[in-house]
Structures are given as C-alpha cells and as structure tokens.
Structure 1
C-alpha cells in the first residue's frame, strides 16, 4: 500500500451527535458490512461492548478500516461523553485528520466545545458533518452559524440540504454543483439532477464563496481569480485541498447517518481533500539516548516507528496493542524496540482492527492503524521503533481523576481476584487510578466521573467475574490535643501468683504545631526506670496513637516527655512498661482537650466568567475559603481550600452548577480542626459504625 493512498481520521463530537451511526453508514457504503448497523437497535459493529449497548453511548475508541476509490481509510470512533475524554484525546493524538459531527437539532453543547478543542490542540485538518438533518427541529443554517461562532473557525459549506426535517431528501454538492436526491431505503443510492429553483440563488452564492476560499490558498489562483478568470474544476480542487490541509478553513457538509444521506460526499471529501501522512509532514520525537529532538519521515523507507494509543485485553486471548504507524514498513515476524521500557518486543502477525475483530495483513506503512498481539511489556503511551533507530514520541497529558469511590468485594473469591482484574483494566484505561488507603484499609478507585466509575465496575464483573459494591471513601480524620497536661501518672500492677507485672510512668503531654507529627523526649533522671525500658515506653505510646480517645482516629501533633517512673527488680518488664505507656498516654490525651482534625483540600477550579459568582457562593456553603482568582482565556481560575468531606462528589456538583463547563483539580493541603457541632456528629456516627462491626 502506498502511503499517499492512506487516510486516517478521528470522529469527534458531543455525546449523542450520531458519529457512530455516521461511521456505520460509511462502512455500509464501502461494502464492509452487508446491512446498516443501528446504534439504537444495539447492532452497531463499532459500539460492541455491552456497556456501550446498555447506555447507547460510545465508551471506548473503536477502530475500523475500509476502501474507497482505491484508497485505504482508517476511522477512529471516539466517545463524546466527558467521562471518557481520554479515549478521544489519545485517538486525536495519532490522527492525521478529524471529522467533527454536529447535531443539527442541538449543535453546540459544552461537550462539543471540549471535543473541538482537540482539533485545535493537535492542529488537525478538519471536516464538519451536520448530522440528523431528517430530525424534527433540524436547522442547517443555525447549526452552521453556531459552530462557526462557538469554535472561532472559518467554515466553507461544500453541501447544503434539500429540505429539512421530514422533508429532507437530498443535498446540493457545491463542488460538482449538482443536486443529489436519495432513495428512502437507507441504501445511500441517489440520483443526480438539477438544482431546485428555490435554492439556485443560494447555491450560486455559496459556490462563489467556495471558489473564493479555494483561490485564497494559492497565490497564482488568487491572482487569476482577482482578474476575473474562471477557475477550472482541477484548480478549485487544488485550492480547496491546500486550504483544508493547512487548516485555513473547515469544509462543511450535511446529511443523515441514520438515513444514509450525504455520507458518500463526506467519503469523497476525505479521499480528495484531507491530509495524507506525507502532507502532515515529518513526525517529531526524541532520541532516547541524547534527549535531542529528532524527526521521522512518513515514508516506507524510513526506520519503522509506531505509537501505541490503545490497549485491549481479552481475558482469554490476552493483550492487543493498537498503534499508529508513523514511519517505515512493519511486516510480520519481527522485532520492535519498546523505547520507553528499553525492551525488545518480538511479534508474529500484524493486524488491522475491525471493530471487535482484526484482520491479518502482510505489511503496514505510515498512516495505518495496526494491532499487535501479546506484546510482553508494551502499554498505552509506549513507542515502538526499529531497534537500530530508536525514537520516543510524547504521550499527551491525560485528564486527572476527579471522583473516588471505595471498592468492596462482595465475596472472598472476589477479593482474591480484584487486584489482578483492576490492573488489567488500568492497562486498557490509563485514567483509572487504583490505590489502597493504608489507614482506612479501603481499596480506592478513582475516575473521570460517575459514569466512568460505573462502567469500570460493569467491566470488572463482565470480563473478570469480580462483583463489588461502591461507597464514598472514609474520611481520614485525625485526633489531636489543644492543651498541655503535665504530670500524667499511670501505674500498671498485676499479681496473679508467681511473677507479677509492675511499671509506673510519668508523662508531660503537650500539643505540637500542625503537621509536626509526634515527638518523644526521654528526660529521666536517676535510676527509677532502667534505660532499657525506654524503647518499650516509646513503642507503647506509638501504638496508643493509632486510636484516639474521641472516635478511634489516629492521634497526631503531640509531644510526650517521659521524665520519671518506678520499676520493680523482679516484676518489671518491657511488656509492663509498654502497657503502662499506652494507658498513661490515653489518660493524658483525654484530659488535654482532644479535638478532631479533618483533611483540607486545595482546589483549582476553572469556570467561565458567568459562573464565577455561583461557584464562589457554593464554595462558601461548603465551608470553603477562597484564596484568590486569576483570569485565563475568558475564564476564571479560582483557588480555594475546602474540607474533603464537603467535596467528595464535587465533580458531579460542579458539572450541574456550570452546565458542564467547569473543571477542577484537587490535592491535599493540610489538616484543620473540625467545628465542635460537626465533630459531635462525626463521633456519634463513628461509634455507631463501630458497634455495627462488633455485631
């Protein structure tokens, strides 16, 4: 396969715009499928995961390929839902082009703005398809105006609809300047005809506009245009391609993926006007040895290199690494260097993905999306290259988890399997974060949103047979003291026949500044307590600190001065002094005005200016403290400190408060005292929970 005959593109859109249905229509038109798959009927070959069929949304990027007019096209159908934005980001990272799908009935939601930001971030030549022209309330002009204004782009219609809503029956192709009238059987077949009289003036105006944009892309064409000479169809095509691949403007076509109308024109557009791997130019990476920037030419003669942007794991078939080939030729039965791991991966077959399945091929060139099976060390984000010419391509920054749940296996068998199962899910989805809180002993699962967490739990059960319950994580409260207590004395004496137990310790207990932890001072004078018992005393204190007197939370920021005590020649022992230290510490802390501390988180919240007042008011209601605000690209960045117990589900609340336009990051800052009224509720709730556990 010639590199110049390869095209790849990523589908981007807000959730519900119909991009998967449009992709299904493409595959049907190209003869890949024998019938038009329907997302709503649950028989889409791209949304094949049960979690996707259940929710009727794309959750995981699906890759397929097809031939069109002697070209090989690779499509990447990505999620539009915010919870799975990392999938779209990774696919956009490796794409040469983007097809942005717009819902003609509701063109620009917040998700659309976020999705289109990937086009700009990765500088992708883009075509827009205004979809669902057959639906009620569909309006081409309003949709076109909405995306032009919202995305700040120069749009160039290359097609306009013939009719709208129930009357939608075809399109006017402004490039060939013909009317395409479609049959009602969803076959994609059409007849060409004359442009309807009521649309002729508008079609002429838009075609003149299209020719002007084409002329702008080339100095010679512009000069010819300005002199009033007519451009040939070839010259118009040359100018359009130059402008589109350079990102100077965005062509806009329209249709219905569900009715298979207008899809053929989009396919022609992709083949004729979108960028080839060669037109995208050399790919930049780094030499792993020197750290210097290097380039790879997207040709078959260059050293082989590929970037792994997705990992699939089948419980039975094993790991499948999905990669974009950037340079060289990759053939079966070879060795590629995983540059990130400095590990040589031996592979046997080379495949191209076909939704759920794969097809074996004899070679892969730049621009192609391939799958390699059972690579030992390779994970998402790794670069594979010719061992003799290593290069590393950068991994795009992934969104950070914003919500965390505690995971509770339902049975002992689930508990035994959960660690390995979650590790495999992490390989498939690098935005899942799994950790264990050593203090609360809870297994924590963090993700990009509620749907993300729920879908992960569904996969955990379906793929690995692990059933779990979710709950909000326990807050890691602490206890400390506010007052000093001098001269705390405790005598441990036990006589049960034979050798007894005896130890007496004298402590001064005082608070330390917040965050200082624990300080032990041995200040013994004389020989009342042999020095060999001191370590046992300190050990006893540290053990007692694990559970405070108020609610059993760890005690922090305390100093203990061990200044005196008593011992017995026969009955004193390390165990006796350890017990005495534990009891003395508990007694002293209880008398030193103990309080509960809560973790305070530092939030950095980015919201549009219009929502700033609402967000600040909400933070105040959460006992938050606003530290400052900075303006950034039409938004406000609010920095605040808020108790963790008030923001455990902040991702959902901020989304509701800002219509999905707000984002935030959160990290631990410090501990602060809990207000007395709230502390009483925490103590009562903790004791009630402890009683339940005893039963």
Structure 2
C-alpha cells in the first residue's frame, strides 16, 4: 500500500506479463467520463512499468488507444480495452472503459471482469452523472474502489475543491493519501500524508525529501481526516480510544488497516496524478501502482458471480482455483479482418489452455437477435492483447484475463466450461437499447453482405437489438444512443465493407372505422367455362380498443351457402391486414354478414373471399376511417432537480403524466403515457435534458386515435 515500499517495476517492453497463481493478479477497471484521462493514465502506467518504451506506444508504434479503427478516426474510446502490466511481481490487468453512456454495455462488461475499480476524475471537469451512477452500482455489489484525480496541473484545477466534490458525490469514505505540490503550474511531487515525506519528481525521477513548513497546515488538516477515516474502518476497536487519548498511532498499523479497508470496499483512497507527458513530470504512477497491488484484492478475495448448471441448479463449491473445474466468461468480442473473431475472456475457475475443447453456453438474449448457445467448440491460441498487438500466452489461470482466437459461435456474455460438466455464469445486467435507427442497403451487393455483417455486430455487442419489422418492412437497429449508432454504421462500412443509409423510421399505425356503415361486395365475372359469382352484404361498426375483429353470421335461408361463410370472413381479415385508408392494418371492428347471393356452379371459396374484401372496402368509403397510433407507458428515472423539465417535456410530446414517486435518495420516477411517434428519439433527448443521468423504459399500452392534422399528413403521404 502507499508509502510501505518504493517498489520496482518489471516486465520489459514486448514481453507479455504472466501469472502463475491467482493471488499474483489484480483486475482493475478504469471508470470515468470521456476526457477524464483514463487512456492517458493507462499509457503512463505502461511506460512506468517498462511494458512499453514510452507513454502510449506499443511495439508497432501505435497507441494503446488504437484498439479500434473507429477510435483512431473519432479520437475517443468506444471499446473495452485490456492493458496488462507487471509491478513487484503482481500482474495488473487494466480494463480501460468508454466514457460515453452509449457504451455502457462495455463498461458493465469491464465491471464484471474486474475485482476493483479506479474512478478517474478530471480536476478540470469534475464528476459527471454517469460516473455517479456507476459508483452507486459498484457500491451495491461491494466492489473496492479508489479515486484518481487527473489534470491536477490544469489552470482551472483546485485540489481542495476536487476533494470536496468527490467526498460530496462519493461519500465521506473518500480521503486523499497524498498532497500534490504544484509549482509554476507544474506538479513536481506528492507529499505522503501518513509518512509526511515529499516525493519529488521535478528531476524526472522520484526522490524523497522533507516537505518543509510551507505545507504543514494543509498536511495537518488532511492527515487528521485520513487517520480518523482509517481508524473508523479498523477492526481494532481499541484504536479509536488510543487515538482520541492523544497516542501517536504507528504508521505501519495505519497502513495495514488502510489496506484491509480498501480491499473490502469500506475505504476509498484518493490520489492526484499528472499522466500526460510533455507538460511537466509524470507524477503519481509509482504511488498508484502501490495502491493497486497492495490495497486492491486479488481474485481469490473477490466473490465469484452466480454460477449454475445448464438446467439452472446452483453450482456449489467453486472457488478461484486454477486446478478447479473450468468456468470462464466472454466479456468482449471483436472481429479482426485477418484472424477472425477474438474473445476477451475472464477465467473464474480452472485453467484455459490453447487448442482445448470447451463447452459454450449462453445467454438469454434471443429477443435481441442473440441466439442461445449450447455447443462444444475448440478454441485456438491464447494471447495477451496490448493495443493491436497480440502476445502469445501459454495458459490463462483462474483470476486472469486473456484473448481467445477462433471461437466461431461464442458471443459476448457466453460461458466457457468443461465439455463434460457444462456450467453457466449468470449474465450481467444489460441495459435496454431504446433508440431505433432504420437502415437499408445502398446496393444489391451491399444487401447480399448485410445479413452476415449484422450477425457479427450482434455477436460482439449485446446492447444491440436487431429487428426485422414485418409490418413496416424496415430493418431497425435498436441502439443505446446516437454515438452508438454512428459506431455501428462505421463498423459496417469500414470493417465489413457494407454501405447502408439511414431512412425515416415508420411507426406501425392502425386503422379503424369512425362509425357504422354497410357495404356490398360483388364479384361476378363470366368467362369461358366456370366464372366467379359471389355477392355479400356486410355491416361494419367500431368496437372498443383492443377488441380485434368480431365476425357475426346473420345469414338466413341459405342465401350464402354455409361452406362459403368462412370464406367471407377470410376475405375480410385479408383486407384488414392490407388496410382501407393508408395501408395500415384495420383493428377493433365488428363485421356482420347479413345477406348475399351465390351460384350453384360459379360460386367458390376464392370468389367469396374477394367479395368479402370488396364489401369491407365499400363500407370504409362511406364513413370516416380513423388512424390509430400506439401509445406506450413510459417510466423515467431522473435526479430530483430534473423532474420539472422532464414532466414539461413529456407534456409537450402529447403525453399524459400519471404521477411521480421518490426512488431512493435524490431520484424520482415519473410515469406517463406517451405516443410512440413522439419518443422515437427520446433516448437522446432525455440524456441531454438530464445531463446523462436519466434512464427510461417503455411498454406498449394501447392504440389511440391520431390527431386529425397528423392523420391528414399521413394520408397525403400515402396517396
């Protein structure tokens, strides 16, 4: 832990870090908003440990952030990225996550693969809503956490302010371990609050000095709060009494208690860093490495996720044991144009080796286009990725993370286990994609390749839902947001060579009758041989919403032979599917067949089907036909300060607010009924309105008449 040892780094550039036992592994996920400096921090840590020659560069000269061609072009992280390094004999798997809410699926995958989290906060920008939500998510599962403050040398940065902000947002368990020393706009070093020593980086290397009297007041203030926080979390109940009586507590005791409190998720150390090279010395890497290796728990100390047999029975007795039954989970899938599909795998139990046959099972997302799996596959080689470079690994033990090649059927979220004793890891919570984007291929050649390309995207991304809407005849990608949609379309174009274009989304409407009307269907045709003869009279009247079709037979005297009455109903149903006004299905009507005529030779099933269709169309021409729009029940969860704006916005969308209720502390659930036409892009609008903190769900409720001015526009468009 901090200040116990100066430590050393190992792992020369180009050599893949490896671990032979679980207690020598730390899996750490980096969480923070876009621009907070997560990737820069990862690159500085890689350079500090000698994993790369200089910050941000791997063997092929690209940066660690060059994980994906989209990231290179758009200059932002959109994928979960693994960066392994070694410090003091401990392998640290750093999982760099996207900072955009659109890619929360990758972020949650990183949380599943990790045993501890580094929350990266920019001293210039502060804490955003998504970071707050993820802190609460980690708290709910007891995940150990630490806070890393970046850009402390920024002209707008104020260390006292950022500490106060983090304590206000994350709670009183957050406390700084070091005090940054800023001179002429540069951070030259850190003062250890427990040791009261100045670790000077001004010359480019770390040296130890006395801090001098200038910082003593600030040291005393932060040091007292730090010691009190450590003692409150200590398992030694006598420590507080000794401290309050004026006894000077030994630093080694404080560090031991601090390590234990951090490992069990009860205390959250804060460290200020400067990771960007060129603007001054890189500061805080050694101290951060010590926090991760000595404070964060090993995989053996972190509970396994829920694991069951294939038929759902609990799988008991599993631990993080390299000699135990194999249980691993695919946390990320990518497609490489040269080596094919690559799966990033976290091993929870057992040992994964190249060329072994494993059972693939998962994963309960069939409604999103992800088929369930229950099959055996032979894996290819194992590797440890770093940027675009894949470095061969001989094995991957319990607690470690590696990349697996040639799993042709496995997808993100699937479980790998022993083929003779298959098991299933309960999947992590996956957010529902709520932004529909309708697309179509630009050419016949693109259309031929589109299905296969979309299949690969679906395999990689469990937050994507693919819908072939039979009603609107549109191909719809359900995405997490606009940035998510842009990345998916970019992948289709650049990675898979498929050009598509966005088109206007069609919301499936319905039609119904505005009043009672009668219609006659006359299908009389004489040709050589048998002709067609069918006449039917129907009366149509509207029913209550949700009633569907009620077909009533009032034929007397056999004017329509009994065998042809179902034919009339079949024809009516066929015309209802095609619509009578703007091409949308007709719903909620009663059709009464009350008269008709038949011919002993020329009448037939098909003749009366056609007559039924004609009768419905004639009746529709005599009364106003109504267009019906789908209405959803919408539940919006937002911070209290955004409730007014959300309710006002829902009302402006022709919504009816049903009520509000408090959910936890500082959050409110708003329930409303809103037409689907008004919320096709609500995922984007709500995020903007709530500064990224709002979420919503939607459930189809019923159909209601569309306002006349909107119906007139749709009728005109269909003519």
**Distance in 1, Cα, partners of 2:499 & 2:192:** 54
Shift of 1:123: 1.7
Whole-Å separation in 1 of the counterparts to 2:627 and 2:504:
20
Q: Secondary structure at the match of 1:607?
A: strand
Task: Name which of 153, 178, 184 aligns with 1:134.
Answer: 153
What is the TM-score when the length of structure 1 is the normalising length?
A: 0.92
Which among 498, 501, 523 is matched to residue 466 of structure 1?
A: 498
Label 1:495 to 1:218 Cα distance change in 2 as closer, same or farther (>3 A): closer
Match for residue 546 of structure 2 among 507, 510, 515: 515
For the pair 1:91 / 2:131, whether they are aligned, the reply is: no
Q: Deviations over 1:141-179 (max 9, x none)?
A: 111110111122412211111117824322223355332
1:308 maps to: 330
Distance 2:220 2:87 in 1: 29
Query: Retained in 2: the 8 A contact 1:492–1:576?
Result: yes
**Who is 1:651 aligned against?**
683
Match of 1:322 among 304, 325, 344: 344
Structure 2's unaligned 5+ residue stretches are 1-19, 363-372
Structural mapping, 1:460-609, within 5 Å: 460-486=492-518, 488-495=519-526, 500-609=531-640
Corresponding position of 1:181: 200
The 2-side partners of 1:594 and 1:131 are apart by 63
1:403–1:466 CA distance, 2 compared to 1 (3 A) = same
Decide whether the 8 Å contact of 1:15 with 1:111 is kept in 2.
Answer: no
CA displacement at 1:641 relative to structure 2: 0.7
Structure 1 position 660 matched with structure 2 position 692: yes
Match of 1:158 among 177, 187, 201: 177
Query: Could you say which residue in structure 2 is the equivalent of 1:258?
Result: 276
- Partner residue in 1 for 2:76: 57
Distance in structure 2 (CA, Å) of the matches to 1:20 and 1:556: 55
Cα distance change on mapping 1:18 and 1:210 into 2, 3 Å = same
CA contact 2:173–2:229 (8 Å) conserved in 1:
no
CA contact (8 A) 1:21 1:38 kept: no
1:228-627 matches, within 5 Å, as 228-259=246-277, 260-281=282-303, 284-289=306-311, 291-292=313-314, 294-340=316-362, 341-387=373-419, 390-486=422-518, 488-495=519-526, 500-627=531-658
- The alpha-carbon deviation at position 412 of structure 1 amounts to 1.0
The match for 1:24 among 11, 19, 43 is 43
Change (3 A) 1:212 1:617: closer
Cα distance in structure 1, aligned partners of 2:385 and 2:530: 77
**Structure 2 length-normalised TM:** 0.89
Give the SS at the match of 1:618.
helix
1:149 correspondence with 2:160: no
SS across alignment from 2:185: helix
- Structure 1 residues 165, 248: CA separation in 2 closer, same or farther (over 3 Å shift)? farther
**Cα shift at 1:231:** 4.3
- Structure 1 residue 391 displacement after superposition: 4.1
Tell me the equivalent position of 1:192.
208
**Contact 1:13 / 1:116 at 8 angstroms: preserved in 2?**
no
Cα 1:613/1:45, change in 2 over 3 Å: same
Checking the alignment, whether the CA contact within 8 Å between 2:384 and 2:393 is kept in structure 1 is yes
Local SS of the residue matching 1:168: strand
- Secondary structure of 2:126's partner? coil
Change (3 A) 1:3 1:579: closer
CA offset digits 1:596-618 (Å, max 9, x no partner): 11111110011222222222222
Q: CA RMSD in A?
A: 2.5
C-alpha distance in 2 between matches for 1:407 and 1:164: 55
Q: Distance in 2 between matches of 1:490 and 1:304?
A: 69
Structure 1: unaligned runs, 5 residues or longer = 688-695
Question: How many equivalent residue pairs?
Answer: 681
CA deviation after TM superposition for structure 1 residue 199, in Å: 1.1
Structure 1 residues 111 and 44, CA gap change in structure 2 (3 angstroms): farther
Structure 1 distance, partners of 2:184, 2:550, is 75
User: Are the aligned partners of 2:520 and 2:538 in contact in 1 as well (CA < 8 Å)?
Assistant: yes
Q: Is the 8 A contact 2:380 2:406 kept in 1?
A: no
Q: 2:659 aligns with which of 610, 628, 634?
A: 628
**2:217 aligns to what?**
201
- Once the two structures are TM-superposed, the CA of residue 553 in structure 1 deviates from its matched residue by 1.8
Shift in Å, 1:381: 1.8
Instruction: Name the CA distance, whole Å, in 2 between partners of 1:679 and 1:282.
Output: 55
Q: 2:17 — aligned with what?
A: none
Deviation at 1:651, TM superposition (A): 1.5
Structure 2 residue 52 is the aligned partner of structure 1 residue 33 = yes
Secondary structure of 2:73 counterpart: helix
Equivalent residues of 2:42, 2:83 under 8 A apart: no
Secondary structure of residue in 2 paired with 1:603: strand
Q: Check whether the contact 2:259–2:295 (CA below 8 A) recurs between aligned residues.
A: yes
Q: Which moved more, 1:327-336 or 1:427-436?
A: 327-336
Q: Aligned equivalents of 1:345 and 1:177: distance in 2?
A: 57
User: Following the alignment from structure 1 to structure 2, what is the Cα–Cα distance between the partners of residues 17 and 400?
Assistant: 26
Describe the shift of the 1:296–1:177 C-alpha distance in structure 2 as closer, same or farther (beyond 3 A): farther
CA shift in 2, pair 1:300/1:232, >3 Å: farther
**What is the CA–CA distance in structure 2 between the aligned matches of 1:556 and 1:205, rounded to whole Å?**
72
Aligned to 2:208, the other structure's residue is in SS state strand
Give the 3-state SS of the residue equivalent to 2:577 in structure 1. Answer: coil
* Inter-partner Cα distance in structure 1 for 2:523 and 2:183: 90
Please give the alpha-carbon distance, in whole angstroms, between the structure 2 residues aligned to 1:556 and 1:316.
52
Which residue, 114, 135, 148 being the options, matches 1:116?
135
1:503 deviates by 2.6
Distance across 2 between alignment mates of 1:211 and 1:389? 50
Could you give the per-residue CA deviations for residues 56-87 of structure 1, whole angstroms, max 9, x where no partner exists? 22111001211112211100000111000111
Moved more, 567-576 or 267-276: 567-576
Deviation, 1:314, is 2.3
Tell me the CA shift for residue 417 of structure 1: 1.4
Q: Does 2:34 align with 1:9?
A: no
Aligned residue in 1 for 2:16: none
